[in-house]
Structure 1
Amino acid sequence: MINRILMSLLLTLLALAVAGAQNYHTPSEITKIMEASPIAYQVGIFKPETRSKSPKRPLNHPGYFQKRTSRGIELVPFVLPTKVQSTLESAEKHFAAHRLAEARTEYLKILGEVHEFSVAMTYIGQTYEMQHDRENARTWFLKAVDSNFVDYTPHWFLADLLKSEGKLKEAAREITVAHALNRNNTLILQALKMIYRAQKLKYSEWEFAPQCAVYKKGDAVIVELTKEWAAYALCKAVWAYEPGYRKKMTGSDRASPFDLTEETECLANLVSGHKILSGNKQPQDKAIRCAEKAIEQRKLVPFIIYEIWAPEHPSSVLSLPKEKIEELAEYVLKFRTI
């Protein structure tokens, strides 16, 4: 059952359908599920000041690579033998002291033992770049990218090199890949903004911050929402608390932070619900505008990964196939620039 505080607002959703989402429930169907539910849903107004501050978001670190197994792609750390680790420490001391030729010799020794260690390839590229040898720097950055595509550092350094050569389109692509691989790294984001500006682009800064809250209070489920986020909030409430709903939709009653079915249905409800409630006016919230565009252009999956999952779980991107990471970069270039 659902209380009548905002029922007049919700009734406008009754005739709504989510285009192209035949297996998902429409806002009107979500409302009917809540009305028929044994759960007591209580709807109220969301107050932004009640939102807790976002915790410090995690960063990714170099030193990992993808390993293909019978279970799919696994992310594993490089484990260097003790002898090689000692050589790496020696190389880093030379590098810090700007003894670049000596550092390079040590890094090459490491690659003789651990051929795929992309970190050493990147450092070799840096030694050449610091000596103004762009050709060799580019060669080694590209080797690192080819060896370990999910290492963000060679993409970053290659982007800076390309920018210095005036190859802005290629630089924008590489820095965007680096950003996708380390979503919360502010230094990469700053580099991205600079490269974009040089190409007369601007990164559109906003975050996916639903103006709603869903939580249990006693025997009731409290759904706090704003008008723009009403349909999204109700959908999230059903996914979180409606008995048997998650299992019916996914085959499992276990919640997951990476549930594509849940996010797709709730975002489809968000967009279609806003359209009917606003009379097809453009959303004020940039997140809703972008979600609408992503649905129209069939880019909802990269939207979900970049906007919802990656900020909280950036390492999830590192387990994606190369083509999906490139698709994320294309999404950012197309949907996050103005």
Structure 2
Amino acid sequence: MVQVVTEPRIYVAGHRGMVGSAIVRVLRSQGHSGLITRTHAELDLCDQARVRTFFEAEEPDQVYVAAARVGGIHANSTYPAEFIYQNLMIEANIIHEAWRVGVKKLLFLGSSCIYPKLAPQPMREDSLFSGPLEPTNEPYAVAKIAGIKLCESYNRQYGHGHGTDYRSVMPTNLYGPGDNYDLQNSHVIPAVIRKLHLAKLAAEHNWPAIERDERTHGLIPEDLKRHLHDTCTVNPILRTTLWGTGTPKREFLYVDDLATACVQVMNQDRATYTVLTKPMLSHINVGCGQEITIMELAETIRKTVGYPGEVDFDASKPDGAPRKLMDSSCLTNLGWSAQVGLDEGLARAYADYLSRDVGV
């Protein structure tokens, strides 16, 4: 008798975002063709009734929770209410409604900001709740911690009798194709790529290209636009200023490496995963194990972009946590490792950025 193996029905929430699109790429490369996706226009994940209707209709076998409201220091500081409310609603609706229709396997995407601002380095999974959070992104961090605890709680209550197996991964700082280059809401790598690219265009006196960039990637703040205009026309001083002192250290992971980790963690056998993450099937870190100062990062991006000028730092602006290096030994013990180095990853990210030029 031939046993028919049915391909799992997999829902990727947030499939148009940087992380979700990378997960889709990895799943498709592994032969999964019938993925379930919905745009925000098709399904507002903050609307519990619509999320319930969706899960009742689709009944997926696996769920990746990659949908989230995300942003850098400026966005977190400006919109704390949106960051905590939207992320709490998204994760609560998806996790609960997945459980209601009998989804056994779910992967929640968190963030390294769940750990205390001054957590011992490298940060281990058991550093959670060991000290105060970084104030600039505390609302977002609290929401992500709640997502971890939702998964833990459903595992505790329904894991033995119902087979519920909900897992969480905490990635380090991410970058790569599909990133957000809006200067008001982006993270450090896309923000620096765009700023230095604009500065390069100004140095080349290419104002039409700067205008195209604004149409493609969003508004350029007025103070930066004036500086770019002066560089183009009046006072060609090739200097670009970035936020903070440049001294904090960060770890950066190419998003497709995260996606391979997510798929591996989702499909890891339960016994091995339980041994690594304790009986409640809690969270697991995902990082490359290497760190770099923001100043060094800016210099690397300057070379990648080909900007000929100087890079300064405005120490009156916030730095965030002084250091954020992940201990990813639990994951590497499963055989995973990052494959894309920073130089190669930045080159790919910059190529993706350039490919979006509207050209009109």
Same fold by TM (over 0.5)?
no
Provide TM-score, normalisation by structure 1.
0.25
More helix by share: 1
